[in-house]
Structure 1
Amino acid sequence: MEYGNQLSDNEVAPDVTRQEAGQRVELPPRPVWVHAAFWFTLAFTALHLYWAVGGTWGLPPAAALRPAETQVANWLVSAIEVIGALWVLALLHPAARRVPSWLLLAPLWTAAAVCVSHAIFGVITKSLYLGGMHEAVDFPAVPELSAAEVADANHLSAVHDLLVFEPCFLIQGVVLAMAAWQYIRTPAHRRLWTWSLVLAVILIALFGAVLSFVDAKAAI
């Protein structure tokens, strides 16, 4: 999969045919998707940093009542997201030309597939939950709260997920996918990138549905 400015206009990669070489896509003068992915990832990181320093808005009740574990988890997620943002930005760095394209793009493909499938599965399950099918989401038990308090907290958490967090996962996945797609040089490889992502999203969503069917669901 050809990437970025790795090759000059007169060069042909060993895995690209002469016909494909003649169809190479011109790289965009302004890599808007790379910048969009970078800044959105940082914005998503800010939310996790808020939770890491003790913020509680948007947290499900089980997480809000276990601040130490929640803070540690969010510090870890924040670090991963900062690395991810820098990884996306690396697409623009001249040094990236000396790195095999698959090595740069594989993590972006994985992250995009996971984020988009998370959003789709989350929207479906949280919608079912808010529609009265409470078995669609298995929120962790919170013995510290009464049944009524837990029900109210879980309902609010599902609303937050449906209106805020799942759309964020969807946007994150799309901008990551497009940031990489923008730097793939041939139409054939762009099609491969797109359809492999679609297939991965479908398979992950089906896997989540199977887990739900066998009662191994979780509040994701």
Structure 2
Amino acid sequence: MIPPTPSPLLDRRTAIQWMLTAAATLTVRDHSALAAETPGATASARLPAKGYGPDPSMVKFYLPGDVWPLTFTESQRRTATALCDVIMPADETSPAASTVGVPAFMDEWVSSPYPGQKADRALILEGLDWIEAEAQKRFKTSFADLQAAQHIAICDDISQAQPKPEFKKAASFFKRYRDLTAGGYYTTPEGMKDIGYRGNIPQATFDGPPIEALRHVGLA
């Protein structure tokens, strides 16, 4: 289980401890292709998906919406983008989640026809609509246009380990959204660089895991 945080503004070092849980739920895909923006997608790219369809070509560059139609409305995309950046903001070493395409990844995730993603679809769409309505209720403006302190005021209420009864459903949404944001972020080149991942790079030697890591798992 992912430990709750007192604020959705995550410390990235802390996020590393729970990102593997999120990553375990994600289908490995070419995120750099899926995260590209899609100006003027063709009508054929937005035809309803029938079943799972054929396997995509692994040598073709796919834009969002080419494999199956996307889901987010413009309003939901703005809310999703703002919420991703509340969870994973830019800092002195790394870009914000929206900069590396995490909102587009979210749209792909909830649009795909697989059972696990279908289960997330309703939760995330309803959650985005709830958080937008809550912003209008509290501050009379859209969530994407709120100030940072206003973002945190809403997100703090739905990121607690024991949320108030009126926030329980929204808290379930936020937990899942936070998981997916981390999973999407840390599968980008920028995210992998942020945590020091060095896979897929040839090395002349391999000295094994550091002693600190071995001690952490009880092997030293």
Structure with max Cα Rg:
1
Structure that is richer in helix per residue = 1
TM-score normalised to the size of structure 2? 0.25
Q: Which has the higher contact order (CA 8 A, sep 6+)?
A: 1
